[in-house]
Amino acid sequence: MAQVTAHILVVEDDDDYIAELQRIIGESGGPTIPTFVTNRDDAVAQLKTGFFDFAILDLKIPTAEGTTDLDPEHGKYVFHHVRKVSPGTKILVLTGSPSEDFIAPLMEQKHDADIWSEGDKVHTVEFLKKIQIDQAPEKISKVVAAIRALSDVELQFNGLNLSMPEDRLVRIFAKHFNARRCAVYPIGAGKSGARTLRLQMFDRTGALIREVVAKLGELPKMIDEEKRHDAHIVLLDGGATPRKMKLLEFGAGATAGIFYQLASGHDASMFVTMATEDALAAKAVTATAEALAGWSKGRNEEPQTIASIRRSWLSDEWAAKLHADYGLTWAAEFESREIQTRWCCVHGDLHGENILVAPDGKVLVIDYGDVGPGSAAYDPVSLELSAVLQDNPTLGAAWPTADACRKWHDLDAYLVDCPMPEFIRACRTWSDSLTTGRRELAACAYCYLLRQLKYDDTDKDRILALLDGVQACWAAT
């Protein structure tokens, strides 16, 4: 069985201590890859490109190779840099200074966490005087052993390539539930840069413990998603919105993970469903509308400018750039218009990979990174348009043509030769049930399409043709 290797960054400029730490790490009882640097700048460079489970930091170091400007401030800089760019990395601070006054501010960064699912919390930041170096072997060996123990979880990748931080988080989570085996499957990603995975965890008897949705990404984004979940998702029907199990902040450098319960049977995304059974996809759209109805039900109308709707998803700076880049000379005046809206909480990223569908049409809505206030119709409009702009298996050049896109406002004309007409009609029915009128429908479509122009891998010609359809929709009001 291959063992998980501990990656250790050592920042130390004293040759004697370097030799001693090399010996201690070499005798720590598990596979390790230590990286030794002697100064601030090299440490920063390593943190920019490398992954580290553990950092051992001398404080009194020079700024760069060949300099003699030793100062604890340089080590403190590295400490804070580790906390900033790799907040999940455990730190051991070594100090040879007789004065500990400068350590007090660093102590405020100390937390307790069960970093590697050992069952007990440990300090994420520890301090050790150099005269106590004889205590270092125990401290370092404990870290190496904890990382090595993650090897007890066998991962089945099913063709996936996980980064080292992603691998760490999946193993840490599975070990927390005493899983012996964890199968990992992809769930199509949106544009956020986070990784969404399906996990199946099995115990020592081979029994399925739990199916899980894992969202892995930058720590601030995962913390933000947890706050959005706790504020908004808990208000919805628990049968269609998986409940949070755990947020993992430590153990994977700059990457964190948030994990949700997943009911068995929801094996296909909405995109996959519409590619195989259009009627079932339409049924799933209705189920999604019912699942999210708690946000919009009973909400009164209120006026909003189209610009204020757009700001929920795209900044003024980005909007101005896109207007200029794509010749949208009409857009600034369009955005200045005030319309009636049903303003409420919305999912904000409701594309076809963020809805999982069971064979009976029941759904689970996942990925809560964009949940927040917006126009109620934004979700069904986003879902409809995602089918022709994102990674939908039915997506192709045949439909919608540019001419069809310009007829987006005329549903019957738009759907000529459409491979998933029932799905599109179900989305439009949902939109119509939420909008205050056609102007809100046009405004939401405009905001979604402008947002899609921001991404490099979207079909710009199709988006621009759809924007012509949006203008026609508005003109018809």
For the four alpha carbons of 13, 17, 19 and 23, in that order, the dihedral sign comes to negative
| Structure-model confidence comparison of residues 191 and 210, the more confident one | 210
Task: Report the CATH superfamily, name and number, of domain 6-149.
Answer: Response regulator (3.40.50.2300)
Question: Mutual orientation of helices 421-434 and 278-291 as an angle, nearest 10°?
Answer: 20
Q: Is pLDDT of 223 > 80? A: yes
- pLDDT computed for residue 243 by the predictor: 86
Among all chains, which residue has been given the structure tokens 């460079």? 45
| Structure-model confidence comparison of residues 314 and 234, the more confident one | 314
- Assess contact for 305 and 333: CB atoms under 8 A: no
Which residue type sits at 459?
Answer: D
- pLDDT computed for residue 112 by the predictor: 86
* Highest mean pLDDT, choosing among 58-67, 313-322, 354-363: 313-322
Q: Is pLDDT of 437 > 70? A: yes
- pLDDT computed for residue 147 by the predictor: 96
Q: Mind listing the pLDDT tens digit for each residue in 446-460?
A: 999 999 999 988 999
- pLDDT computed for residue 245 by the predictor: 93
Using a 10 angstrom Cβ sphere, with 0-12 exposed, 13-18 middle and 19 or more buried, the burial of residue 461 is exposed
Residues 6+ apart with CB under 8 A from 408: 400, 414, 445, 466, 469, 470, 472, 473
What percentage of the chain has pLDDT greater than the value 70?
94
At 305, phi and psi to the nearest 5?
-75, 155
Helix (H) or strand (E) holding 244: strand 244-248
Of 153, 10, 173, the C-alpha closest to 93 is 10
Taking the CA atoms of residue 43, residue 47, residue 52 and residue 57 in that order, the dihedral angle to the nearest 10 degrees is 30
- Mean pLDDT score of the chain, rounded to an integer? 91
Specify the CATH number of the domain 153-262: 3.30.200
Q: Is pLDDT of 105 > 90? A: no
Dig out the tokens for 195 from the structure: 């990784």
Using a 10 angstrom Cβ sphere, with 0-12 exposed, 13-18 middle and 19 or more buried, the burial of residue 275 is buried
Q: Is pLDDT of 189 > 80? A: no
- Assess contact for 171 and 153: CB atoms under 8 A: yes
Q: Is pLDDT of 94 > 80? A: yes
What is the domain partition of the chain in residue ranges? Answer: 6-149, 153-262, 268-475
- What CATH number does domain 268-475 carry, 1.10.150, 2.60.40, 3.30.70, 3.90.1200? 3.90.1200
